[in-house]
Chain A
Amino acid sequence: MSAEALVRGRAAERLRTVRWYQRPRWKRLGAMIALAVLAVMVTGVQGTQRDLFYALEENLTSPLLLVWLALTVGVWAVREFLSPQVKAVSDGYRSVVEEPRGKLRRAWREEKWLRWGALGALVAAAVFLPSGLERYWQTVLVDQIAIYVLVAIGLNVVIGWAGMLDLGFIAFFAIGAYSAAYWTGALPVQPPMELNNFAVIPVAIVTCLLAGVLLGAPTLRLRGDYLAIVTLGFHEIVYLTAKNLDDVTGGTGGVKVERFSLDLGFWSYEWGVIDPMPYYYLLLVFIAVVVFFFWRLEHSKVGRAWTAIREDEVAAASTGVNTVRFKLMAFAIGASTSGVAGVAYASKVGYINSENFVILLSVLVLAYVIFGGMGSIAGVLFGAAFLVWLPEALRDFVDPKDRYMYLGVLLVIMMIYRPQGVIPSRRRARELKLSESGESDADAMTEPAGGRLS
């Protein structure tokens, strides 16, 4: 045996030995400690210009570090050493809960009155509870939650039902808002005739419908990621137009838009500037109507055709489904819902500028839909309401600048442990299960370009 071989053998030996800190268990501990340090840096004091290491020193000596360490190392210890016990406890708990839960589920499925009762209670809560809130939260509820719920319901049609990834959905929201501004005479350019804000709604619907078709027609051949890029581009076009064409749109300076008002001759009403509640009820009606219509759509020929296209476009087309028509329809319906939300937004806030329609909002709306559960109306309602509320609520607890980071962490955790969303749609959940078992692949984002045939 040559010396060289001996050396090589020893090197190989050394490479093969696993030192204690390389064992998975201790690696995980290391990761947890690193996580605690990261968490304390993020949640602790911020750095200052005076001293580069100020934040580092402060945070690593603060008791907060111990709290985080206790937390992360605790999680690690439980997972590593107590997992049989934890499992026993959770199994015991599950076996206790199993039966009543099964009963409840069966009752939910079989008893009509239960579902109607729940719906009634929900509607009653939505109608009566908000009037007890502080004015600040009422404003949040109207200006943000209600508006984005409406937008998210629209996006759900495109991504949740038709399975097309749209990253520029706020573009239609902007088109709706600027339609309201234009037709009420708020823009520097004057309309042929001034309309009431309510009369703008059908006009905005048609405008967004056309915009949806305009965007959809040339891009429907694209799938998944390609379509996403195109919609992203579309958003930027609309946004930059609003920003730079300031003698038409008012640009970043913005324009003032009239509030909702109604004059039927014998009865007239003006939605005022201060009290948000009248707007809230108006938007509640909008949302209820849209949800009702879309619920019908989902359980009709159209909803089934969308599901078919989403699951297997080739099979759908061979079965006689006009895939282009249904995709365009999804685009147009989603876009016009977003347009209505845009009109409502402009007419509530009373002032719009191009910065109300930045790309971040498109991404956030997408997150609302995915978080709540793509394809499920209840999920999307919840997802949008919760995720819009969360950053506002966090304002009191954390540095306001960091709020969206917590949102991000929540989304990451959610996608790892519950990718189907909080309240998944039944069809979507099944698809996810099938694709996990490798039987079908019905995801808007993983569809191979070109598709396969045989």
Chain B
Amino acid sequence: MTTELIKGKGPGGRPEPDAGDLVLDASGVTLRFGGVTSLDGVELSMRRGEILAVIGPNGAGKTSLFNSLTGAYVPQEGRITYRPRAGGEHELRGRKPHLVNHLGLARTFQNIRLFGALTALENVKIAAETRLKSDPVSIMLGLPNARRAERASDRRAHEVLDFVGLAAKLNELAGSLSYGDQRRLEIARALATDPQVLLLDEPAAGTNPTEKLELEELIRGINRELGVSVLLIEHDMRLVMSVADRVMVLNFGKKIAEGSPSQVQRDPAVVEAYLGASAEPEEAAEGADGTDGGGVPQARDGEVTDERAAQDGPGKDEA
């Protein structure tokens, strides 16, 4: 039953993201760790209802940007303004992670962080329950409001798991799911809190080509059917080019380009940034031009990039 989940947007009826209507509007975000500046005056403007991809070589500061937006890190400088659908403005910088989540920003993690000893259903219920009121006393006494909340969270969790296609694996332990399913479960957990903005940190890393295609569909579905704005970090250029409305490029903590996927691809600054790291974006983009999904460049390139990051990280810093 995804009917309740789908809000107001008919199939395929996504309103064109409006350039003036920004859900997220950040400026001058600067985050330093001792001598390392991971974010250096980053600007981010995200339109309501769009899929915005954040790309950049390893260590560019993409995850740091996510952590700053969601309250996990507190940037030293800058403003992060969030405008929910209901109106009003909220400053996100320095807000506690759970409060950011309550405002409507949900995220996934680059290195999957599920509750491994709990079942898939329980993982999602935990998220759904953060929106329900029930105090420990009424739970202990088994009062009606506690039972209602329990049923509601159960229903909600089932819906969301259905939506991401994990309905058959409800009672499996999160830790024993396949990599692709774990990524999907993380997305389900994020969706269960009914977000307006979903932040996905390399959701395709470590998944196989089939799973990548399914993921692409899922991201589109979340965006089109649920009307959720998606901020996507991804190294797989084919996925980025096919799914993103706009792309922003980070390098050494600075934004070096922004625009439509094709614009960004031709941008000399971007080519330059990537030439130092690898020729991957161009190769991958060619794969995307070939249109059919069979031509995905590497099966597990997420992990490959991670390994490469581990190997030549220091060398790159010197360069």
Q: Which residues of A contact B (CB under 8 A)?
A: 293-294, 296-297, 300-302, 304-305, 307-308, 311-312, 314-323, 329, 333, 427-428, 430-431, 434, 439-440, 442, 453-454
A300 in contact with B150 given A308-B126, A318-B101, A321-B130 (CB within 8 Å): yes
A301-B132, A320-B102, A453-B73 known; A296 vs B115 contact (CB < 8 Å): no
A302-B139, A314-B113, A329-B136 known; 17 new pairs, CB 8 Å cut-off, are: A300-B146, A301-B132, A301-B153, A304-B126, A311-B115, A317-B96, A317-B101, A319-B127, A320-B106, A427-B117, A428-B117, A431-B116, A434-B116, A434-B117, A453-B67, A454-B109, A454-B111
- With the chains together, A294 CA to B139 CA distance in Å? 10
Complex: chain B residue closest to A315, CB-CB = B113
Contacts of A321 in B (CB 8 A): 98, 126, 130
Contact of A323 among B98, B140, B141, B175 (CB under 8 A): B98
Q: Would B110 and A311 count as touching, CB distance under 8 A?
A: no
CA distance A317 to B189 in the complex (A): 12
Query: What separation, in Å, do the CA atoms of A434 and B126 have in the docked complex?
Result: 20
Judge if B228 is at the interface, Cβ distance under 8 Å.
no
Query: B94 interface residue, CB < 8 Å from A?
Result: no
CB neighbours of A308 from chain B (8 A): 115, 118, 126
Is B34 engaged at the interface, CB distance under 8 Å to the other chain?
A: no
CB atoms of B102 and A454 under 8 A apart: no
Q: Which 6 A-B pairs have the closest CB atoms?
A: A320-B130, A320-B101, A430-B117, A315-B113, A293-B140, A317-B97
Indicate if the CB atoms of B117 and A302 lie closer than 8 Å: no
Inside 8 A of B131's CB, which chain A residues have their CB? 320
Is A320 a contact of B116 with CB atoms below 8 Å?
no
The answer to whether B116 and A440 have CB atoms under 8 Å apart is: yes
CA distance A428 to B141 in the complex (A): 26
Known: A308-B126, A318-B70. A333 touches B117 (CB 8 A): no
Let me know if B224 is at the binding interface, CB within 8 A.
Answer: no
CB of B193 closer than 8 Å to a CB of A: yes
Kindly state the separation between the CA atoms of A308 and B106 in the bound complex, as whole angstroms. 16
Q: Which residues of B contact A304 (CB under 8 A)?
A: 118, 122, 125-126, 129
- Contacts A317-B96, A320-B102 given; does A307 touch B117 at CB 8 Å: yes
CA distance A202 to B136 in the complex (A): 16
Q: Contact between B98 and A322 (Cβ–Cβ < 8 Å)? A: yes
Taking a contact as CB atoms under 8 Å apart, the answer to whether A320 and B98 are in contact is: yes
Q: Does B76 contact A (CB under 8 A)?
A: no
Task: Give the residue name and chain of the B residue nearest to A317 (CB).
Answer: B97
The reply to whether B117 and A442 contact each other, CB–CB distance below 8 Å, is yes
Min CB–CB distance B186 → chain A (angstroms): 9
Asked if A307 and B115 make an inter-chain contact with CB atoms under 8 angstroms apart, the answer reads yes
A439 and B111 CA atoms in complex are apart in Å by: 11
The answer to the question of B208 belonging to the interface, with a C-beta cut-off of 8 Å to chain A, is no
User: How far, in Å, is B171 (CB) from chain A's closest CB?
Assistant: 13
| Residue B299 is within 8 A (CB to CB) of chain A in the complex | no
A311 to chain B, nearest CB (A): 5
- What's the minimum C-beta distance from B85 to chain A, rounded to whole angstroms? 18
Task: Decide: B101 and A315 in contact? CB cutoff 8 A.
Answer: no
Contact check, A301 vs B129: say whether CB atoms are below 8 A apart. yes
**A-chain residues with CB within 8 Å of residue B67 when the two chains form the complex:** 453
CA distance A365 to B70 in the complex (A): 40
Mark contacts of B78-113 with chain A using CB atoms, 8 A cut-off: 1 yes-contact digit, 0 otherwise. 000000000000000000111001100011011101
Contact B72 A453, beta carbon cutoff 8 Å: yes
Closest A residue, CB atoms, query B134: A301
- Distance of A61 Cα from B198 Cα, bound (Å): 77
